[in-house]
Amino acid sequence: MGKDRNGTFHPGKGKPSGANKEEGLGAQATPPEKMNEYNEMTEKYTSGPDELAPNVHLLHPNRNTSKANTSRGYGTKTSGKPDHEKEQEDNARNRVPAAQTDAAPPEELHGVLTKDDFSQLASISGKYCVSIYIPTHESGEAVNELSDAVLFKNKLQEAEKLLQEKGLKQPDIAKLLGPGYALAYDNGFWRSQLAGLALFLAPGFSCFMRMPAAPPEQLVVNTLFQLSPLAPAMLTTESFYLLVISRHTAKLFKGDASGMNEIKVAGLPDSTTTNRPEDPGIASGDTNYQGIGGASNNNSAAYLKAIDDILFREVLHNENIPLVLAGPEELTALYRSVTAYAQLYPEAVTGNREYEDIQALCRQARTLLQPYFNGELQKVKERYANQSATGLTSSIVADVIPAAHYGQVDTLFVANNTQTWGTFDEMNNTLRVDDDMTGDNEDLLNKAVIKTITNGGQVFTLEREEMPADSPVAALMRY
Q: Please name which of 466, 470, 462 lies closest in space to residue 228, comparing C-alpha atoms.
A: 462
Distance CA 16, CA 215 (A): 59
Give the best-scoring range by mean pLDDT among 252-261, 295-304, 396-405.
396-405
The DSSP 8-state label assigned to residue 30 in this structure reads B
What would the pLDDT profile of 104-139 be if each residue is shown by its tens digit?
Answer: 899 998 766 777 888 899 999 999 999 999 999 988
**Residue 204: CB partners within 8 Å, gap ≥ 6?**
none
Average pLDDT over all residues of the chain: 79
3-state helix/strand/coil string of 340-393 = CCCCECCCCEECCCCCCCHHHHHHHHHHHHHHHHHHHHHHHHHHHHHCCCCCCE
User: What local confidence, expressed as pLDDT, does residue 320 receive?
Assistant: 84
User: What local confidence, expressed as pLDDT, does residue 376 receive?
Assistant: 78
- Taking 70 as the threshold, does the pLDDT of residue 207 lie above it? yes
Distance CA 415, CA 392 (A): 20
If you write DSSP's letter for every residue of 180-198 in order, what string do you get?
HHHHHT-TTGGGS--SEEE
**Residue 182: CB partners within 8 Å, gap ≥ 6?**
100, 101, 103, 104, 105, 106
- Taking 60 as the threshold, does the pLDDT of residue 60 lie above it? no
What is the bridge-based pairing of β-strands 430-433 and 421-425?
antiparallel
User: What local confidence, expressed as pLDDT, does residue 366 receive?
Assistant: 83
Distance CA 379, CA 385 (A): 10
CA 388 to chain centre: 36
Indicate the pLDDT class of residue 22, thresholds 50, 70 and 90.
very low
CB neighbour burial string for 135-151, b if at least 16 within 10 angstroms, e if fewer: bbbeeeebbeebbbbbb
**Residue 419: CB partners within 8 Å, gap ≥ 6?**
220, 437, 443, 445, 446
pTM for this one? 0.63
Q: Please name which of 232, 105, 246, 123 lies closest in space to residue 181, comparing C-alpha atoms.
A: 105
Mean pLDDT on 146-161: 96
| Phi, then psi, of 192 in degrees rounded to 5 | -140, 55
Element (H, E) at 477: strand 473-477
Question: Is 89 or 208 the better-scoring residue by pLDDT?
Answer: 208
- 435 pairs with which residues across the strands? none
Indicate the pLDDT class of residue 442, thresholds 50, 70 and 90.
very high
Give the best-scoring range by mean pLDDT among 151-155, 270-274, 370-374.
151-155
The DSSP 8-state label assigned to residue 105 in this structure reads P
Secondary structure class of 199 (helix, strand, coil)? strand
- Judge residue 280's burial from the number of C-beta atoms within 10 Å of its C-beta, 0-12 exposed, 13-18 middle, 19 or more buried: exposed
